[in-house]
Structure 1
Amino acid sequence: MSYQVPGASARAGITFDRLGATLSTLTLIALVLLPVVTLQPNRILPGEGVELEQLARYPTFMLFLGLLILTLTGVTVVSRHWIRLGLATLTLLALVVATGSIASPLLDNRGAFARLALGSGFWAIGLLLGLMMTDAVVKMGLSARWRLVIVTVCLGAIVSVLSSGLWDHLSLMLEYRNQERFWAQGGRHLLLAFGSVLPALLIGVPLGIGCHRSAALRTFMIPLLSLLQTIPSLAMFGLLMIPLTLLTQAFPVLNELGIRGIGAAPAVLALFLYSLLPIVSNTAAGFDGLNPAVIDAARGMGMNARQRLWQVQLPLALPVMLSGLRIVVTMNIGLVAVAGLIGGGGYGTYIFQGLGQTATDLVLLGTLPTIVLAFVAALVIDTLIEFSRKERG
């Protein structure tokens, strides 16, 4: 909530924003109390946080601090949200650049195995800056398309910094360089996440239409699919491993096709089962919300049942159906990480390897791209929903 400062000119755009002040206060607390970077003796042992006073000796970090103070002031008292968005974005990029530039001098004379890791202060400040950007975007009322553009530009800028070699001395990038199959695992992650979506759509959409038309089918199907959602993912993978193993033993040809009790098969099957409820329920809800007068008008124009379905009902119900797809895609991208525990591959492999080796940065190497993939996928589908609503209007 924002309040106009008494006596301030409206043209000056000065306000007091409570949320901005809260985020600014939390950012300052994180900066002072939490280490932005930590020096570790090796990749496993915990390190010691580098004092803020020591970091302030470096020009790039001083530039970041100056932008941070300017941003915290802006999100607290400036009413023009595009200024807040720009300041928060620049400060986030400055944080990325500053942490990379100080790595090499901090590691001088520390030994061959010493590492500089991103500390809790880095992640806390990055998260709070992201919240400031989100707050500005929401208050500006930007469309999903423009939100996707902003995220793409920010990710592109960060990738450019990483590609430049500025982060090469940080522990996270050292872990990345040690993983030769990182991008292959990314492709595997997407293949598992989306490989279950197509069959779920082919089965779930007709089931959703059937639930719209038949109360008896809805009464049976929705509770059954809801029951499947209550099964924890690890338990679901375990339950599917047994019948798949027995099936491959009975039909060895399945083993040659890659269908086994562990690996991709139980992961894709479990994700397929989890995907059905959002698709079925949102399809049914989309058809339930159609205006009967529109259907009657289509019937009056001489359209048969198939024409009404493809030319009227499906286009009008599409935004609600896409909302269900959004749930499925983001859920699947996250659940694929758990499939790494049963040999499914994907970024979950790094998460569980890191946990087993107590290597925090290896865990982050699997966690961060999973979060980014889910976030970008959600924005892409939000954009599709926006376009479908415009077409509907």
Structure 2
Amino acid sequence: MTIAANRIVAGEGVPAWAVAAPALVAPGLAAVVLGLLLGLPLHWPRLRLLGAVIGLGGLLWLLMQGAPALLEGAGDYARVSPAIGFWCLLTILMLLMADALAQLAPGPVMRGAMLGGVLATLALILWSGALAPLSVMQEFSSRRAAFADAALRHLALAFGSLATAAVIGFPVGLLCHRNQRLRGSVLPVLSFLQTIPSLAMFGLMIPILGWIALNVPGARAFGIAGIGFTPAFLALVLYSLLPVVANTVAGLAAAPPTAIEAARGMGMTPNQRLLRVELPLGLPIILTGLRIVLVQNIGLAVIAGLIGGGGFGTFVFQGLNQTATDLILLGALPTVALALVSAIVMDILVELTRPDATRTA
């Protein structure tokens, strides 16, 4: 951990065995060491999973005991934060957990239950105030209203752009599936948009929408402006179109020719074949495209903070300007958590849409 005189200056590193009294840190250190040792056997994934959970519990214990102990008598403006050693151990334990789960290969229902348990545990820890002395939580306490607004903006950017891209991309993908010439012209254009760097894309939206706001009557009344939410939203929609359209085309084309011929032999119309054969068989691939878009947009929405679009990027760039690391973490940690949870949920949905023969319970 680190102890600093205030939120801006560099902190002084404190080793794990010195963050609190020996009797207080001993259980946490023992849990971390035990967790790492249990993670060594390659062919016992359940043991590795148990070790990762024990090690994470040890890290949490060290934070809970070390933060108040280090702050005692350090001054009103002193701040305590996890240091590089904590983040390295957290990464190692998370990788052990991920590797164990990959070997165990739990089914979608079990993965959903495990995700719910992890989120409930995390919510309980945060609600209990056990981590309140940490600097990042103090940053949160002083910005509760701003954090709630940033969270809503970030969700609106990520999920709103996904929904808009789906509404546009699905019909375009269907047309491209049925018309090869159209596919040959649309996909290269969307691929070109995908190659534009994200910061450049956000920048290009500023003069275009700024001109529209100045010259089109009523544009400002609909929230169109050179900076703010609208240019960030439109940039994300443009980035989202290629995965949606391409995966829609690939998904609809994944139906076996024998299934199509059987449906045609049963007298199904093209629309009936689409709804009853092509779409159900191609749904996993289509949802995979949506997964790509969602995770991508959650990360790209951070850049919206540069042009006044809101979201968690606001805290990231404020922290960079103020050299306040914990303010950066206040924006970065929820973004990472949201991306991870969204990816897991979408993976579960993809697996649930596959034929029963290709997935485990």
Normalising to structure 1: TM-score of the pair? 0.87
Q: CA offset at residue 154 of structure 1? A: 2.2
How far does the alpha carbon of each residue in 1:138-193 deviate from its partner, in whole angstroms, 9 at most, with x for none? 11111244233323322322221222111111111110101122122111111111
* 1:211 to 2:199 alignment: no
* Structure 1 residue 62 corresponds to structure 2 residue 43: no
State the percentage of identical aligned residues: 45
8 Å CA contact 1:61–1:95 kept in 2: the answer is no
**Cα offsets for 1:176-215 (capped at 9, x unmatched):** 1011221221111111111111221122112222222222
Match of 1:198 in 2: 163
What corresponds to 2:347 in structure 1?
Answer: 382
CA deviation string 1:3-34 (max 9, x = no partner): xxxxxxxxxxxxxxxxxxxxxxxxxxxxxxxx
1:265 matches 2:240: no
- Mean Cα displacement is larger for which, 290-299 or 205-214? 205-214
1:159-178 superposed matches below 5 A:
159-178=123-142
SS at match of 1:116: strand
Number of the residue aligned with 1:150: 114
Check conservation: 1:93, 1:158, Cα contact below 8 A: no
**Residue 40 of structure 2 aligns with which residue?**
76
Residue 391 of structure 1: how far off its partner (Å): 5.8
Task: Identify the residue that residue 118 of structure 1 maps to in structure 2.
Answer: 82
* Aligned equivalent of 1:328: 293
| Contact 1:337-1:349 at 8 Å conserved across structures | yes
C-alpha separation between the residues in 2 aligned to 1:216 and 1:118?
A: 56
Aligned to 2:143: 179
Deviation at 1:291, TM superposition (A): 0.6
- Which 4+ residue blocks in structure 1 deviate beyond 6 angstroms? none
Do the aligned partners of 1:40 and 1:46 also contact (CA within 8 Å) in 2?
yes
Does the CA-based 8 Å contact 1:172-1:365 persist in structure 2? yes
Q: Distance in 2 between matches of 1:77 and 1:287?
A: 44
Residues of 1 paired with 2:348 and 2:102: CA distance? 15
Larger deviation, residues 240-249 vs 358-367: 240-249
Q: Distance in 2 between matches of 1:152 and 1:354?
A: 31
Supply the AA of the counterpart residue of 1:39: I
SS in 1 for 2:53: helix
Q: Which amino acid aligns with 1:108?
A: E
| Matches of 1:171 and 1:77, distance apart in 2 | 36
Separation (CA, whole Å) in 2 of partners of 1:147 and 1:131 = 17
Unaligned stretches of 5+ in structure 1?
1-36
- Whole-angstrom CA distance in 1 between matches of 2:24 and 2:122: 16
> Structure 2 residue aligned with 1:300, among 265, 280, 284?
265
Residues paired across the two proteins, number? 357
In the alignment, the residues of structure 2 paired with residue 392 and residue 318 of structure 1 have an alpha-carbon distance, to the nearest angstrom, of: 16
1:378 Cα deviation from its structure 2 partner: 0.8
Which of 229-238 and 205-214 deviates more? Answer: 205-214
Larger deviation, residues 355-364 vs 80-89 = 80-89
Superposition map of 1:87-102 within 5 A: 87-102=51-66
Where do residues 208-287 of structure 1 align in structure 2 (5 Å cutoff)?
Answer: 208-287=173-252
Cα distance 1:247–1:224, how it changes in 2: closer, same or farther (>3 A)?
same
What amino acid sits opposite 1:281 in the alignment? A
- The residue aligned with 2:306 is 341
Partner SS state of residue 296, structure 1: helix
CA distance in 1, matches of 2:246, 2:190: 9
Greater mean alpha carbon deviation, residues 131-140 or residues 251-260: 251-260
The letter of the residue matching 1:73 is L
Listed as ranges, the gaps of 5+ residues in structure 2 are none
Residues 333-386 of structure 1 show CA distances to partners (whole Å, capped at 9, x for unaligned) of 111110011011110100011001100000000000001111111111111111
Q: For the aligned residues, what is the CA RMSD?
A: 1.6
**d(CA) in 1 for partners of 2:159 and 2:98?**
27
2: distance between equivalents of 1:120 and 1:79? Answer: 30
Distance (whole Å) between structure 2 residues aligned to residue 392 and residue 255 of structure 1? 53
Q: 1:364 aligns with which of 322, 329, 340?
A: 329
Contact 2:253/2:278, CA 8 A, preserved across alignment? no
| Native 8 Å contact 2:209 2:224 kept in 1 | yes
Aligned partner of residue 39 in structure 2, secondary structure: helix
Q: Which amino acid aligns with 1:137?
A: L
The 1:74–1:392 alpha-carbon spacing in structure 2 relative to 1, beyond 3 Å, is: closer
TM-score by length of 2: 0.94
Counterpart of 1:319? 284
| 1:112 CA displacement | 1.2
> 1:74: Cα distance to partner?
1.4
Deviation (angstroms), 1:107? 1.3
2:71: which partner in 1? 107
Q: For 2:110, what is the secondary structure of its paired residue? A: helix
Q: Retained in 2: the 8 A contact 1:68–1:91?
A: yes
- Aligned-partner SS, 1:366: helix
